[in-house]
Amino acid sequence: MRIPIRLLTAAACLMLATSMRADTSAIQAAQLSHGAMTSCSTAGLPPAVYNFSVNDTEIWLNLMVTNAATDDVLEVQWLDPNGIELSPFTFSPLASPGQWCFWVALANGSTLPANELITGIWSAQMYWNGALLDTLPFPLVPAGCVFSIGSSVGNFSSSGGSGSIPISTASACPWVASTSATWIHFGGAPNVWGFGTGSIGYTVDANTSSAARTGTIQTGGFTYTVAQAAVSLPDLTVTSFTAPTTGVIGANITGQVAVANIGTANAAAYQIEFYLAQQPAVTASDIDTGWGCSMPPLAAGASTACGGTIGIPANLSAGIYYIAAIVNPGDVIAESNYTNNVADSSAGPITLTGGCAFTLGSNSAAFASTGGAGTISVQTGTGCAWTASSSASWVQITSGASGTGPGTVGYSVLANSANAQLTGTIQVAGQTFTVTQAAGNSPVIATGGIADPWTYTTGIAPGAWISIYGANLSSTTASWAPQANEPIATTLGGVSVTIDGIPAALSFVDSYIPGYSGLTQINALVPGGIHVGTQINVVVTSQGVAGPAYAIQSAPFLPSIFNSVGPGTSPVRYYVNAVDPTTGELLGNVSANPSVVRAVSPGDTIDLYAIGLGAATPEFPTDTVFSGAYSLVSNFNVVLAGVSIAPTFAALISPGLYQVRIVVPQETPAGDQPILFDFGSAQSAKSVYLTIQQ
């Protein structure tokens, strides 16, 4: 038996909070063939073989494993048709983590004596750290066996179903049927085997995609193809749309639109809506006129029409616009093709003139359950009259119920004692202003209640860990249990958070903070995809109740260095906990952290750990526990005792956690020296110190 091994990658990185275990290992590829892989990659795999003959000189097992850990052990066992273990081999413990490749051969005639070459169903079993990782059955076929199958293709509709493959051969001839398609099954098993003439039964899952698909089943040296049709869907298209070429702002026009269903399935009830834009190729993200048609279901191959009034919004400026009809805006019903849902008016652009244009300072406001007061600014021309009215009894107009020219509407929101969120509207000059109010038990973020968890600097930045403080944020205490290469939970203890509309990963929720009556806490990882340099909303949902949006200005960085609070310091001092990269010892201030071994000395190389250092490259994962190190996009300096130091290493090493390595200058004086990270546009807290000894 020949056992060549090749290591593809070996990379080590420090993860402060987590460590990779062997049970995270996963098979990237496992196959049997007539030869060994030529490189540790899928491109290096030889053609897979599913049928072997007693005349084959070698049977090779090729295996690729990802996320392996140091000291993991692979054992390969070959089992003959009687279940007797032959030629087991145990590889040496792995020297480093990462992706590993293994290949090992069962060599007929050299490894096994002739009386052990039993024809029938063999298997190669792979054990990882003593646990069964995978089993590959294969037939060892006697000389002279000839196989045939009844057909080479099975066709299925999108709903799936079951099928069978007739296989013919002599009674002593073994065969194995297997597939790599996840939607083809052999009664719940990845493969099936037998002897002689028989029938191979299989099932096919329903295809929910609008694209057809094919998969294969390998057996007896033949490839059997399973072809499945795409799901049948409607396809709504605007076949014509006409509208006038002139109109008055704030007035109505009449349009006519025709729609056809050219798909293969009936369409459920749908909407046709009309939009305006100052450029051709109008989309549903342009100006919604607020007018449209509610259409009944439309059979496949049928067509219909809608005609009537289209209101021109009163807040537009005079000029040339393009008007379009859009069927099924927002893709509410599933279609096989959404690209033909829009048609500009065949008459060309429309020129809008005259009228009074009205614009509101904002279109919505959110209130806590306690209620409050607000104002709406109205922008319009001199002499343009307008009125304001409320649609909800709990939203009351207090001033500006009517006016002429620019003005302000004042309103108040009564307290909400119900355990349900309320939504109401105020109509101002033909515009809709939406008021939402949190439920009586809704979570409310405190003013200034979003900050980094280490120095409590308020703010928010992509990829930064933040603490959120407020009332009713959580009714329980819970923390996450990270799993390598798995998504981080965005719901914890019945609590979820969206930041700029993106679900955030959560590490901790608490219903009680000692010394702070009524205050609750959430620790969250800001998604890397938020908008930067603008005001964004943070929304907490607890036990199914969503709180009001909390508006906060985002920044590219919210830097903070890992530290311990100095005892009895006023104002508060934070003392850095550094790590000696050679010994792993904790360095810093022993009074602040009893686990510290010693203070830092000039000339020491130390590792600092930080959060909020901004985007990384080539990846910036904020929703998955990962292994590796990603370089920072932005450069920065570490300022120690007033001296700028360029880091020798700076990278994202775990979700939201960064490692920064520096060499302490020889001239650094003894004592507690201020230290901060300087990005130019942002700095970490100035109340952080590194204790230096001579």
Sequence ranges of the domains in the chain = 5-141, 148-228, 236-353, 359-437, 444-553, 560-692
Q: Give the span between the Cα atoms of 563 and 557, in whole angstroms.
A: 18
Give me the mean pLDDT over the 438-443 stretch: 81
More confident residue, 27 or 100: 100
Look up residue 305 and give its two tokens. Answer: 């029409």
Q: Which of 244-258, 403-417, 649-663 has the highest mean pLDDT?
A: 649-663
Q: Give the span between the Cα atoms of 577 and 591, in whole angstroms.
A: 12
Assign 3-class secondary structure to 478-518: EECCCCCCCECCCEECCEEEEECCEECEEEEEECCECCECC
Residue 14 pLDDT more than 50?
no
Residue 483 pLDDT more than 70?
yes
pLDDT at site 529 = 94
Q: Which long-range contacts link 338-341 to residues 24+ away (Cβ below 8 Å)? A: 340/235, 340/237, 340/238, 341/236, 341/237, 341/238
Look up residue 493 and give its two tokens. Answer: 């203890």
- What proportion of the chain, given as a percentage, has pLDDT over 70? 94
CA neighbor of 222 nearest in space, from 265, 185, 255, 179: 179
Other CB atoms within 10 Å distance of the CB of residue 668: 21
The answer to whether 312 touches 297, Cβ cutoff 8 Å, is no
386-390, 436-440, 567-571 — which is least confidently predicted? 436-440
CA neighbor of 193 nearest in space, from 81, 308, 75, 327: 81
Residue 114 pLDDT more than 70?
no
The CATH class, in words, for 560-692 is: mainly beta
pLDDT at site 8 = 26
Amino acid type, 78: W
Task: Give the CA-trace dihedral at 61, 63, 69, 74, to 10 degrees.
Answer: -10
Question: What is the model's pTM?
Answer: 0.44
Q: Give the span between the Cα atoms of 581 and 170, in whole angstroms.
A: 67
Per-residue pLDDT reduced to its tens digit, 497-509: 999 999 999 999 9
| CATH match for 5-141 among 3.40.50.720, 2.40.30.170, 3.40.50.11740, 2.60.40.2550 | 2.60.40.2550
Residue 3 pLDDT more than 60?
no
pLDDT at site 620 = 92
Look up residue 92 and give its two tokens. Answer: 């040496």
- What is the pLDDT of the chain when averaged over all its residues? 88
The answer to whether 372 touches 413, Cβ cutoff 8 Å, is yes
Residue 524 pLDDT more than 70?
yes
Per-residue pLDDT reduced to its tens digit, 615-668: 999 999 998 888 889 999 999 999 999 999 999 999 999 999 999 999 999 999
- What proportion of the chain, given as a percentage, has pLDDT over 90? 64
pLDDT at site 250 = 75
What are the angstrom distances between the C-alpha of 382 and each of 317, 352, 404, 405? Answer: 15, 20, 7, 4
Amino acid type, 426: I
Residue 596 pLDDT more than 60?
yes
pLDDT band at 19 (very low <50, low <70, confident <90, very high): very low
Residue 313 pLDDT more than 90?
no
pLDDT at site 20 = 28
The answer to whether 274 touches 378, Cβ cutoff 8 Å, is no
Per-residue pLDDT reduced to its tens digit, 354-396: 767 788 999 999 888 888 999 999 998 766 778 899 999 999 9
The structure tokens 């046709």 sit at: 272
The superfamily (CATH) of domain 236-353 is Immunoglobulins (2.60.40.10)
pLDDT at site 6 = 25
pLDDT at site 1 = 24
What are the angstrom distances between the C-alpha of 357 and each of 119, 276, 384, 430? Answer: 87, 15, 8, 10
The structure tokens 């200058």 sit at: 665
Indicate the helix (H) or strand (E) that contains 301: none
pLDDT at site 5 = 25
Residue 286 pLDDT more than 80?
yes
Q: Give the span between the Cα atoms of 115 and 84, in whole angstroms.
A: 13
User: 148-228 has which CATH code?
Assistant: 2.60.40.10
Amino acid type, 438: A
pLDDT at site 548 = 87
Look up residue 31 and give its two tokens. Answer: 């196959």
Longest CA–CA separation in the chain, Å: 106
Give me the mean pLDDT over the 547-555 stretch: 93
Residue 421 pLDDT more than 90?
no
Does 444-553 carry CATH code 2.60.40.10? yes
> What's the sign of the alpha-carbon dihedral 45, 46, 52, 54?
negative
Q: CATH topology of 236-353 equal to that of 359-437?
A: yes
User: 359-437 has which CATH code?
Assistant: 2.60.40.10
